């Protein structure tokens, strides 16, 4: 949606804006990124959360007069995000990566959409912005599953470039993991709480330098996130289809053995029992999820 220049300047120069950048050994990228952020948002609070860097990140921040929040050792991207959110003085938080992928020029577009009544606006990457074919496929699966779970179109579940109202974001700090899956968690939490979320298409650049994400661990993380998406929003919606699948197979196998052998076999009993257990696990998980969001003001 177009916005005029006066509105753009009013939003960008709002002194209640905080820009938080989680960074670990990103001094080379910060050298060029920090001046651009200061030029674009001269009145904003800019925080670099140094997650145990061993390079000259501290010197770069000092040279550009940027506040640095330091972890004594690497605690993870999510931990850095939480540190930045706790220390932020602004009413609106901008999160972007310090590795050069996100273009600061997109910040006005996110902020303009935020003024339309949304509580969080996410920069949604296109397929050309993905680091690899495998990661592109994984993100597509994440997005489709999350969209099905929430009944809302989710254009980019794992994007780390987002603008959010600080007060709303802090409600869910206790849910956020210390690792790289914080975007998934906060997105599902916002939908669960009924906070409106919007997506703005962006073109993310290629990462400058070496990635901190490990391919082998990504495979395990992929499976964990799939189940985490369901457990964060509505576990029963994930467990019920699995339960029905086991029930259908078990009942079909029972009919087959009854017709051919006139017997109720152990395999049929096992499949049917498993379907009941999965359903009960989903039911209990649903109640636990409701309690998790109770403190955040969710009145489901």
Domains in the chain: boundaries: 5-213, 235-296
Note the pLDDT tens digit of each residue in 61-100. Answer: 999 999 999 999 999 999 999 999 999 999 999 999 998 8
* CA angle (226, 296, 157) in 5-degree steps: 30
> 184 and 265 in contact (C-beta within 8 Å)?
no
What integer pLDDT is reported at residue 130 of this predicted model?
55
Residue 205 is given by DSSP the state P
Identify the top-confidence range among 32-36, 127-131, 190-194: 32-36
Q: How far apart are CA 183 and CA 165, in angstroms?
A: 15
Task: Spell out the CATH class of 5-213.
Answer: alpha beta
Mean predicted lDDT score pLDDT of the chain? 85
Distance of alpha carbon 151 from its chain centroid, rounded? 17
What are the residue ranges of helices labelled H in the chain? 5-12, 27-40, 57-63, 77-87, 107-114, 133-150, 166-170, 182-193, 215-233, 235-261, 266-292
pLDDT tens string 18-62:
999 999 999 999 999 999 999 999 989 999 999 999 999 999 999
pTM for the predicted model, two decimal places: 0.79
């Amino acid at each position: 949606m177009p916005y005029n220049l006066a509105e753009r300047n009013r939003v960008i120069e709002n002194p209640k804006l905080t820009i938080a950048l989680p960074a670990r050994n990103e001094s080379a990228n910060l050298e060029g990124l920090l001046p651009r952020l200061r030029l674009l948002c001269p009145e904003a609070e800019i925080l670099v959360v140094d997650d145990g860097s061993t390079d000259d990140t501290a010197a770069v921040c000092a040279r550009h007069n940027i506040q640095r929040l330091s972890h004594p050792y690497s605690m993870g991207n999510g931990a850095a995000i939480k540190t930045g959110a706790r220390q932020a003085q602004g009413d609106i938080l901008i999160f972007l990566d310090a590795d050069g992928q996100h273009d600061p020029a997109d910040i006005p577009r996110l902020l303009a959409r935020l003024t339309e009544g949304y509580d969080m606006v996410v920069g949604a990457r296109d397929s050309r912005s993905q680091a690899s074919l495998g990661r592109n496929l994984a993100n597509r699966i994440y997005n489709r599953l999350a969209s099905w779970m929430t009944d809302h179109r989710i254009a980019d579940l794992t994007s780390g470039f987002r603008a959010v109202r600080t007060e709303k974001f802090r409600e869910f700090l206790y849910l956020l993991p210390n690792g790289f899956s914080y975007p998934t968690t906060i997105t599902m939490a916002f939908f669960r709480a009924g906070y409106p979320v919007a997506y703005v298409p962006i073109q993310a650049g290629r990462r400058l330098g070496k990635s901190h994400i490990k391919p082998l661990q990504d495979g395990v993380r992929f499976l964990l996130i799939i189940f985490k998406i369901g457990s964060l929003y509505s576990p029963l919606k994930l467990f019920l289809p699995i339960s029905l699948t086991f029930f259908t197979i078990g009942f079909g196998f029972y009919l087959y053995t009854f017709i051919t052998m006139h017997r109720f076999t152990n395999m049929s009993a096992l499949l049917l029992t498993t379907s009941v257990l999965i359903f009960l696990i989903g039911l209990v998980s649903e109640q636990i999820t409701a309690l998790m969001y109770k403190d955040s003001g969710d009145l489901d």
